[in-house]
Amino acid sequence: MRRSSVRLLAGAAVLGCVGVLLLARWLSTQPGLTATWQIRPDGHLELVTTSISALRPHLGATWIATTATGNTAIQGGSGEPTRDTHPLMQPQALLLNGPARWIVDDAQRRQHVRLNEDLAAALTAGPVTLHFSDQSPAELQARASGWRGIGIAFWMFAALAWALYLAAAGVVLLKPSTSNALYAVMALCQAGNLMCMAVASTASPMLPPGFARIDFPLRSGFDLLTLGAAVHLACIHPKNLQVSRWLPTTGWLFAAATWSLANGGDGSSAWWLTQTSMLLMGTLAVWLMHLSFRSHPHPFALVMKRFAVVVGCTWALVSAAVALESPSSRAASSLPLAVIVWQVLFALVLLSVPFLSKSHSVVRELSLIAIISALATVLDLLFVGLFPMSQFASLTLALFLSLAIYAGARQWLVNRMLGTRVASTERLFEQLFRTTREVETQPSQAGPALARLLDELFDPVDVSLLEKSVATAHTLSDGSAMLVPVPAIGSISNTGAPASVLLRRAQQGRRLFTTDDARLADRIGEQLRRTVAFDQAVEQGRGEERRRLAQDLHDDIGARLLTLMYKAQSPEMEDYARHTLQDLKTLTRGLAASNQPLSHALAEWKADIAQRLTAACIDLTWIAAHDTDIVLTMVQWSGLTRVLRELVSNVMAHAQASSVEIQVRLANDQLVLTVLDNGTGRAPQHWSPGLGVGGVRKRVRQLGGEVSWQQQAPSGILCRVIVERLSASA
């Protein structure tokens, strides 16, 4: 990040703050009526609260008219004003109906503008008299609202607008590009919309002088410019589409033509023309995002398409609610709130775009809240219009139904917006356990093993190993990639080994990596390191204990067997003692050495079995083959040794065989061990599971394999042991 860019960004932030303060200072000098009003069921305005002493006696009364200096009356509702210079139909309701941008009827919008201007002119000119339904007028001199009269809503909207303005300045100054410039246009336009809402929030009940006249042209221009930039941005980011040569220009021209038609001439059907054009341009932008993802799968395009659909559907609900409701109805007071919810949602979505991988879970929740709020507003308006019920009853029923829909559809909405695929705990534990065993056997392969684990977990488009070292996992490129450090395993030198794993486009490009994914990857790496370290410590302890036992057996039992061999009273006893001593040496050697190559184990097994079968006058055919000389752990060596000894012992004790063929083959990590004799054994399926056969089954299961016995023709029994993945049984 260049220092000059940082200084420019800091200057832009200060300039934005100064602009907000200057606007607030201007608003504080404007005259107004510090009071709170509500729309009665008959459409008239009722005074609810006020800080003006002259108005306090009229709390709960209906405002009828306002008389300015010169006995000019401004009609307020029912009743007979002194001079009806402006015969308006229920104009007070228009005062509480929000800004002119969201008034559907053209005539009512013009009335709204004229009423605000007349009130502003009357308050600015001098004393005014407010006439109420209690037949007692209230004469007062309008005063400047001051800083206290601005209200907290102004500062909240202004703060959000300033943050959006700063995000626009930041992306352009820190990384200038066409796509960032288009984002800045969208962000600045919506920041302008928020500032208009901030100004409107100070209305009490009228808007500042001159603001009502420019509200609709200004805010409709902001919205159309935003959609024009959205269409242009969807054409070029994250991938340039073939239509990008002519469609962006068409979108800008269409937005300009719509604004000219809506605000030029008599402005007939201006609201409908603006909303229809926005709907067409928004649909086009979503279709372009879909086309971009289909031609070049990128999670940014898909995630933004999902959020655009959510924001667009919320906007459509709000527009439908505004179009269905009359400004003078008793439910009209809820319309500004619905507009505010949507506007804030859209601003937050735009604000989160530069930090999408870190904030889109927050935007998801805000989107759901906005959808439910808009749905509740529409249902409330429908209930009020279709059924004879009170405002409180309709609002309660609308909220109840909205929450019920939210509870039933929340998970589906979350999955559709984010494309989240969560691995089960059982599956994750199984993958981690397998990777741990693999890394424990080959610590130098920690990088590839971790890459395979993350590949199964996140299903990215591409996984690569890098030599770049990082401290913790973090997302890159707004969540389209994630870099995960490879944990240091034991004391193995990592020189030349991969230091990190780079994953691109999670779930085959259908979703972004998030900070939650980065934390999960860090925990997996740490758990992998700890598990391997723990297993190594346990194995070290086991090795020391085995060596101690081996030493004790060699020094104690070995010495006794050696003495027994020399003092044997017959050659048979001497030979038996000698064989037992040899078995003891094999056992102690296995206990003392935790690992040994397969080739060494095969040689020991062959020598031991040949000696035993020769003493029993049984011929041995030994066949061994392996595609790689893997290292057997103590568990594997001990299990296979005891299985072979038990099978040979069974042949010697029960088969009455004259020959035995033993094959040991290892290919593609699959171990196949067969023992075939020509004895008198029959029907192995009817054998009773004694200690010998049961012990063989148990030891083979511990190795992750299977064992079976089959009767052969014309005689003999074939025992086959298969371990599919010998390395996984380590």
Q: Is residue 140 situated within a structural domain? A: yes
**What does residue 77 show for φ and ψ, rounded to 5 degrees?**
165, -135
Rounded to whole angstroms, what are the CA distances from 153 to 54, 157, 343?
26, 6, 14
Q: Is residue 616 situated within a structural domain? A: yes
pLDDT digits (tens, 9 = 90+) for 222-248: 999 999 999 999 999 888 887 767 889
pLDDT at residue 92 tops 60: no
The Cα diameter of the chain in Å comes to: 143
Kind of pairing between the strands at 619-626 and 659-667: parallel
User: How many Å apart are CA 346 and CA 308, to the nearest integer?
Assistant: 9
pLDDT score, position 672: 94
pLDDT score, position 71: 44
pLDDT score, position 76: 45
Q: Is residue 75 situated within a structural domain? A: yes
Q: Which of 100, 129, 144 is the last residue of a domain?
A: 144
Q: Is residue 106 situated within a structural domain? A: yes
Q: Is residue 586 situated within a structural domain? A: no
User: How many Å apart are CA 232 and CA 179, to the nearest integer?
Assistant: 9
Q: Which of 93, 123, 144 is the last residue of a domain?
A: 144
pLDDT score, position 186: 96
pLDDT at residue 65 tops 80: no
Domain holding 74, by residue range, is 33-144
Q: What is the crossing angle of helices 270-295 and 106-125, to 10°?
A: 120
pLDDT score, position 587: 65
**Cβ(692)–Cβ(719) under 8 Å?**
no
Q: Is residue 41 situated within a structural domain? A: yes
Q: Is residue 221 situated within a structural domain? A: no
Q: Residue 545 is encoded by which pair of tokens?
A: 């204990």
Domain holding 69: CATH number?
2.30.42
pLDDT digits (tens, 9 = 90+) for 165-195: 999 999 998 888 899 999 999 999 999 999 9
Average of pLDDT values for 217-226? 95
Average of pLDDT values for 659-663? 94
Q: Is residue 73 situated within a structural domain? A: yes
Domain count, the chain: 2
Q: Which amino acid is at 278?
A: M
**Residues contacting 230, CB < 8 A, separation 6+:** 186, 281, 282, 285, 308
Q: Residue 184 is encoded by which pair of tokens?
A: 């800045």
Q: With b meaning 16 or more CB within 10 Å and e meaning fewer, what string describes 436-460?
A: bbbbbbebebbbbbbbbbbeebbbb
Please, which pLDDT band fits residue 75 given cuts at 50, 70 and 90? very low
Q: Which of 94, 128, 144 is the last residue of a domain?
A: 144
Q: With b meaning 16 or more CB within 10 Å and e meaning fewer, what string describes 96-107?
A: bbbbbbbbbebe
Domain holding 708: CATH number?
3.30.565.10
pLDDT at residue 349 tops 90: no
Which string of DSSP letters, residue by residue, matches 680-704? S---GGG----HHHHHHHHHHHHTT
